[in-house]
């Protein structure tokens, strides 16, 4: 590879922690257009990079649940950046949990073949942050035994070799492209939040962290991937944070102390924290200070989006509820669609019918996000925004239902348009992460 001297922006940013240990980066894990636009707008306002990541089940060579391949998703991101007048060179693209995640029902040979094609498609689409995750059991693994670190690392090295080969091909077409950086390791539970409410979660033990690093290093070296190992910038750990249907476990610096102290043995690495959604901003800042320098967030962003949509529908009802006018009925249609297709929420929401109805609308697990691309829901959303923009939104109603946005509209820094109010509501969540990772 002739262009390894071109530094990956993520490596450059993390290296700055050598001068300022309080710096970090948050990752926007969403394929929702309004969420991504909100992230681009906040990054533009703060003159910083923005990292957007797609998961293996969300975007893959078969389309994933978004219907987008990695090439299509990258084109989608580039289009949004262009429309938001955001510099493409400050848009970083990552792949999350790339491995056999969506093929665990298959034997190793077949599952890993699919995983190889997955990671190849991400690298060939120009994704420069690659999380290799081979921690899940496959169909021919012993069902009641813990998957060994050696097996996990061996499979991870297989995928890294494919990624390196794909980058050699990609760099021939794009000589200006930096080599990808790699993230290893996995958190518990599976991506997307816990399925049961818990009072606590076990922090990764320092010896388990060290075992992951040593076995992966050995596997990379035995596969002649020493150069790729130099670009392993982070390891995923469980620092003691989690969320579920109606609970959030907040970061406890004391409980994580042994783990974060262990990181000092590896000055070229940081920790990547998953499921940081709904953490108070002070907890997020402490995590970054303690070396958990990459903060992943997804459901909390679409949760904020849903809050904004419900607030806008309340405004719509105030304006049109007493008139013979076609209102959007957004929440009603969302509920109807979730009842018609229960596949994305039944494992997460339990209890009586009223309790499950409440969860479908307000759960921290935010399974409603999977239904926002449904054509009926999209139609209701579009009608909601069109109705409000046609009528104009009175300042008093913005004050009533979106008071934080009201203050910004009042001083002239936010237009009183439905889409702008909605994306700014998502931006409130993003602000907590920017507070944690940036230092002015």
Q: How confident is the model at residue 189 (pLDDT cuts 50, 70, 90)?
A: very low
What are the pLDDT digits (tens) for 360-394? 999 999 999 999 999 999 999 999 999 999 999 99
**434 lies in a domain?**
no
User: Angle, nearest 10°, between helix axes 108-124 and 70-83?
Assistant: 30
What are the pLDDT digits (tens) for 117-176? 999 999 999 999 999 999 999 999 999 998 999 999 999 999 999 999 999 999 999 999
**42 lies in a domain?**
yes
What's the pLDDT score for residue 4? 43
* Alpha carbon 43 to its chain's center: 16
**1 lies in a domain?**
no
> Domain range holding 381?
303-423
Position 239 pLDDT exceeds 90: yes
What's the pLDDT score for residue 1? 40
What six digits make up the tokens of 176? Answer: 């200006």
Closest CA to 150 of 165, 161, 134, 162: 134
CATH of the domain at 140: 3.20.20.70
Single out the residue in 297, 332, 349 at which a domain terminates: 297
- The domain total for the chain is 2
> What does R_g of the chain's alpha carbons equal in angstroms?
22
213 shares a domain with 66:
yes
336 shares a domain with 286:
no
Q: How confident is the model at residue 439 (pLDDT cuts 50, 70, 90)?
A: confident
What's the pLDDT score for residue 306? 98
Q: How confident is the model at residue 188 (pLDDT cuts 50, 70, 90)?
A: low
What's the pLDDT score for residue 17? 73
Single out the residue in 280, 297, 314 at which a domain terminates: 297
170 vs 19, residue with greater confidence:
170
312 shares a domain with 184:
no
214 shares a domain with 80:
yes
* Alpha carbon 404 to its chain's center: 25
CATH of the domain at 416: 1.10.400.20
What are the pLDDT digits (tens) for 344-359? 999 999 999 999 999 9
What's the pLDDT score for residue 197? 57
């Amino acid at each position: 590879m002739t262009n390894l001297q071109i530094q990956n922006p993520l490596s450059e940013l993390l290296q700055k922690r050598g001068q300022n240990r309080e710096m970090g980066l948050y990752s926007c894990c969403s394929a929702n257009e309004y969420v991504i636009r909100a992230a681009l707008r906040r990054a533009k306002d703060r003159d910083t990079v923005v990292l957007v990541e797609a998961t293996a089940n969300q975007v893959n060579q078969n389309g994933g649940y978004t219907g987008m391949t990695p090439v299509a998703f990258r084109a989608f991101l580039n289009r949004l950046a262009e429309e938001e007048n955001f510099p493409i060179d400050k848009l970083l693209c990552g792949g999350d949990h790339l491995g056999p995640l969506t093929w665990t029902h298959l034997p190793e040979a077949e599952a890993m073949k699919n995983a190889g094609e997955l990671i190849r498609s991400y690298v060939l689409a120009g994704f420069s942050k690659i999380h290799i995750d081979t921690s899940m059991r496959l169909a021919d693994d012993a069902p009641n035994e813990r998957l060994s670190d050696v097996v996990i690392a061996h499979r991870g090295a297989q995928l890294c070799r494919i990624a390196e080969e794909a980058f050699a091909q990609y760099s021939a077409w794009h000589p200006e492209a930096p080599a990808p950086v790699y993230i290893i390791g996995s958190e518990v539970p599976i991506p997307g939040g816990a399925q049961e409410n818990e009072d606590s979660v076990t922090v990764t033990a320092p010896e388990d962290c060290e075992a992951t690093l040593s076995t992966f290093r050995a596997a990379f070296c035995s596969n002649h991937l020493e150069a790729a190992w130099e670009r392993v910038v982070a390891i995923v750990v469980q620092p003691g944070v989690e969320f579920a249907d109606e609970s959030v476990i907040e970061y406890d610096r004391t409980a994580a102390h042994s783990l974060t102290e262990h990181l000092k043995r590896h000055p070229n690495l940081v920790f990547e924290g998953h499921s940081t959604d709904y953490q108070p901003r002070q907890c997020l800042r402490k995590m970054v200070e303690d070396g958990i320098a990459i903060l992943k967030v997804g459901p909390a962003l679409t949760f904020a989006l849903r809050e904004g949509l419900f607030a806008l529908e309340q405004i719509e009802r105030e304006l049109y509820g007493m008139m013979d006018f076609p209102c959007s009925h957004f929440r009603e249609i969302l509920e109807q669609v979730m009842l018609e297709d229960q596949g994305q929420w039944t494992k997460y929401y339990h209890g009586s019918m009223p309790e499950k109805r409440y969860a479908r609308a307000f759960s921290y697990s935010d399974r409603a996000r999977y239904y926002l691309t449904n054509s009926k829901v999209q139609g209701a959303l579009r009608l909601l925004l069109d109705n409000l923009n046609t009528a104009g939104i009175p300042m008093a109603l913005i004050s009533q239902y979106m008071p934080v946005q009201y203050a910004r509209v009042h001083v002239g820094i936010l237009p009183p348009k439905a889409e702008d109010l909605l994306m700014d509501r998502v931006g409130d969540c993003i602000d907590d992460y920017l507070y944690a990772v940036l230092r002015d």
